Amino acid sequence: MIQPVIAIHGGAGAMSRAAMSPEKEQEYLSALESILTAGQAVLARGGSALDAVTEAVRLLEDCPLFNAGHGAVFTSAGTHELDAAIMDGATLRSGAIANVNCVRNPVFAARKVMETSKHVLFVGEGAEAFAKEAGLEIVDPSYFSTEARREQLLRVQRETPEAAVLDHDGQAMVARGQPAPADPLDADKKFGTVGAVAVDAQGNLAAATSTGGITNKQVGRVGDAPLIGAGTYASNKTCAVSTTGTGEMFIRMVAAYDVAAQMEYCGASLETAADRVVMEKLPTIGGKGGLVAVDAQGNVALPFNTEGMYRGYARVGEKPVTAIYR
């Protein structure tokens, strides 16, 4: 009998311990734990892995601490472009949307694409029209904005105007006498994707990923999160994976699928395959970040090659485990 389990991530990046107060650390850990508890509850009452990852990612989207949905980062034009994907390991059905700015919960739109459309990926106006037709909650784009994210954009544009900002050493800012960032993983250059993976009591796997992109990104850019095989993948034969990091590198490495492929073709364990992708293969092209993964036996892997990654997992019947640093 499989013990159902869910794992989540809320982004990876450079550690800035000087910016970290015990209160701020607890705020993040508490948010992760409450979201894990909600996903765990879905599995505990016999719910599907699909429902569990959908609920976890919905809550991550609604939490302004993370870069997805409410609290999404700004593009170079001061707008929001949201992406999401979901995949069912039992059937390999999947759905994704990219570059939307009015769908409150992009993960719901991705799931509607999977369940009611013959297609996998919708983008921009077409994705928004699909979501409206599906009856999903539509909001004014200002709903996604927070003052902290706007200040982040202005700071990045002032300090590194050409950069689409990914990773940053908060310690260096403090050493230069600049104010410490409020985010324990420097939010200016944190890989802000959220995601969830789960295996349910029936042995079915699922993965979902959602993101607001990267601060100051060029309008129209799409990263790995909504791309099946790059940022999101699930197959009952192997594992479910959700990634966070330098999206372009994860796309080039087809990172999420690579974990599953090593398990299927080489007989690698989940831990070995996930570690190889994150710690050995991605760094060869400058890929930074991490992933969360579960396999059909309920094993969990949460590797990352940055200083920290917001992460956690919860097995049914056990207390959730959360962490930020190594």
| Ligand-binding site membership of 245 (annotated) | yes
Q: How far apart are CA 227 and CA 250, in angstroms?
A: 10
| Ligand-binding site membership of 246 (annotated) | yes
Secondary structure (3-state) at 255? helix
CB distance 158 to 215 below 8 Å: no
| Ligand-binding site membership of 17 (annotated) | no
Amino acid at 19: A
CB distance 100 to 106 below 8 Å: yes
Q: State in Å, rounded, how far the first CA of the chain is from the last one.
A: 31
| Ligand-binding site membership of 197 (annotated) | no
| Ligand-binding site membership of 83 (annotated) | no
* Active-site residue (options: 193, 215, 232, 306): 193
| Ligand-binding site membership of 221 (annotated) | yes
| Ligand-binding site membership of 192 (annotated) | no
How far is CA 312 from its chain centroid?
12
Angle at 193 between CA 259 and CA 130, to 5 degrees: 100
> Annotated catalytic, 193?
yes
| Ligand-binding site membership of 160 (annotated) | no
Contacts of 154 (CB under 8 A, 6+ apart): none
Q: Which residues are annotated as a binding site?
A: 221-224, 244-247
Catalytic residues: 193
Q: Which residues are annotated as a binding site for substrate?
A: 221-224, 244-247
